[in-house]
Amino acid sequence: MEKKITISPVTRIEGHARVTIHLNDEGKVEKAFFHVDQFRGFEKFSEGRHFSEMPIITPRICGICPISHHLASAKATDEIIGVEIPKTAKLLRELIHMGQIIQSHSMHFFELAGPDLILGWDADPRIRNVVGLIQANPELALKAVKLRKFGQRIIELVAGRRIHPTFAVPGGVNSALTPTARDEIMKGIDEMIGYIKEGIKLAEDFIEKNKEECGKFASFPTGYLGLVKDDGSLELYDGKIRFMDKDGNIVKEFKPQYYLRYIGEKVEDWSYLKFPYYKPFGFPEGVYRVGPLARLNIADKISTPIANEEFKKFKSINNGKPLEGSLYYHYARLIETIYALERTREILEDPEAMSQDVLRLGEVTNEEGIGVVEAPRGTLIHHYWVDEKGTIEKVNLIVSTGHNNWAMSKAVEQVAKAYVDGKNLKEGMLNRVEGAIRCYDPCLSCSTHAIGKMPIVVELYDNNGNLIDFVKRD
């Protein structure tokens, strides 16, 4: 008799995301899936609106990385009016993007990864959470707050507000940087780099103590995809898309505008979310990962000095070959945060960042626009089609959680097979399954939030669909 375990993080949108683990007669894991709802609703919602509204509307997709949607959207609208935006506007957009990376990555590391890395997989679930973490190490938690606040403050100082800014517009941005804002941000950078270095020390200690687990936990071959600069170094705001195969060979580099030639989306009947893959390889051979691990795997170097020193250590772990273990996402996230802080300083030191030349006006000249950025969780694609008046006719969004859909499911299945015993279900086993998902930091809480239901329920069903057991975190 086959049994099914469901792990269901419930927001107010039912079925937003869940894990199902199917057991065989012996209580062993037969297969496992990670299911996520997709964002087509938002795409339909956007149809009929004027394209210039999109950079304001789309940040509402996500309460955690609204800036990524804001910028990908603005880049798409630049193409619709067919203008090359001023260099200053590019710098200021990238600056708030760095703020986004700093706040999002630091939040994930300290709030979601921290309890596993610092308190341990098998710690009592009553304390193995962020509250347990702040009680165990309030000093570290305070630094996490300061880091996130610093990232948010960059956004607020440059774009005028912390969430849902109206800063980036078709053709550039709507205000220049003030010397006061520049000076305030500059003052905090070194202190924040110090905090992240403490995080890196924690991650390196964890890797050192758990080498075998880091190598095996949710570790599997895939391709990797993300933006790089022209010289092959890490890039988060602009650049070209690089696809690397599972062996570390650079297979293709292409302009983001050609993404439809190279990225296909496979439909599976058990998931609402499609499975992107590298078209020339087909599915499933062309499945790939995005996000911090993928970005460091595909990059040749990092253009800022402190981050590049850490990058060399990262690359040395597997002798320059791609790191496959999902736990390395946590380490990569911290290295990227260092880069974001250093890049923030570089931008602020560029005299052009202070220029008043921030906007090029234009009319609708192209019927399509594509904007791509590296959001904290991975490559984010906005593609709009408009009529001659600029009214949105069609929208295609591929979000990071979508790109990583196959990999998250694979990670869940691999970890479930390694750790879950259906006859003797223990909390720590399920935590490892959730831990595999946490590596990818998927946006499960996108779009809405409300008071209502318990976040995690684990249910066991027999093969007739009867609920035979359940576990609830409370």
Q: Which is nearer to other proteins, 41 or 160 (CB)?
A: 41
Q: Name which of 418 and 457 has its Cβ closer to other proteins.
A: 457
Continuous segment of H or E residues that includes residue 38: none
Q: Are 114 and 330 in contact (CB under 8 A)?
A: no
Distance of CA 8 to CAs 128, 354, 384, 470, Å? 19, 48, 33, 11
Q: Of 19 and 95, which has the nearer Cβ to other proteins?
A: 19
**DSSP string covering 232-275:** SBB-SSSSEEEEE-TTS-EEEEE-GGGHHHHEEEE--TT-SS-E
Q: Which residues contact 359 (CB under 8 A, 6 or more apart)?
A: 85, 86, 89, 169, 171, 172, 173, 174
Structure tokens of 221? 């071959």
Phi, psi of 22 (to 5 degrees): -100, 125
For residue 201, which phi and psi values (nearest 5 degrees)?
-60, -40
Closest separation between CB of residue 138 and other proteins, Å?
A: 6
Task: Provide the minimum distance between the beta carbon of 413 and other proteins in the complex, in angstroms, as a whole number.
Answer: 17
- Phi, psi values for residue 343, rounded to 5°: -65, -35
CB 437 within 8 A of CB 415: no
For residue 201, with 0-12 CB atoms within 10 Å meaning exposed, 13-18 middle and 19 or more buried, which class applies?
A: exposed
CA distances from 254 to 194, 224, 260, 388 (A): 36, 14, 11, 28
In this complex, which beta carbon is closest to other proteins, that of residue 172 or of residue 376?
A: 376
Q: Measured from the CB of residue 103, what is the shortest distance to other proteins in angstroms?
A: 8
Residue whose CB is less far from other proteins, 149 or 240: 149
CB of 267 to other proteins, least distance (A): 22
Q: Which two tokens stand for residue 187?
A: 């003052």
Least distance from C-beta 412 to other proteins, angstroms? Answer: 12
Q: Where do contacts with other proteins occur on this chain (CB under 8 A)?
A: 9, 11-13, 41-42, 44-45, 57, 60, 63-64, 66, 103, 107-108, 111-112, 115, 128-131, 134-135, 138, 141-142, 144-145, 148-149, 152, 163-164, 431, 434, 437-438, 443-445, 447-456, 472-474
Q: Which CB sits closer to other proteins, 448 or 463? A: 448
Name the residue nearer to other proteins (CB basis): 151 or 322.
151
Q: Which is nearer to other proteins, 54 or 298 (CB)?
A: 54
> Nearest approach, Cβ of 78 to other proteins (angstroms)?
23
Q: Provide CB contacts within 8 A for 130, sequence distance 6+.
A: 110, 111, 112, 114, 115, 141
Q: CB of residue 438 vs other proteins: minimum separation in angstroms?
A: 7
Shortest distance, position 364 Cβ to other proteins, whole Å: 24
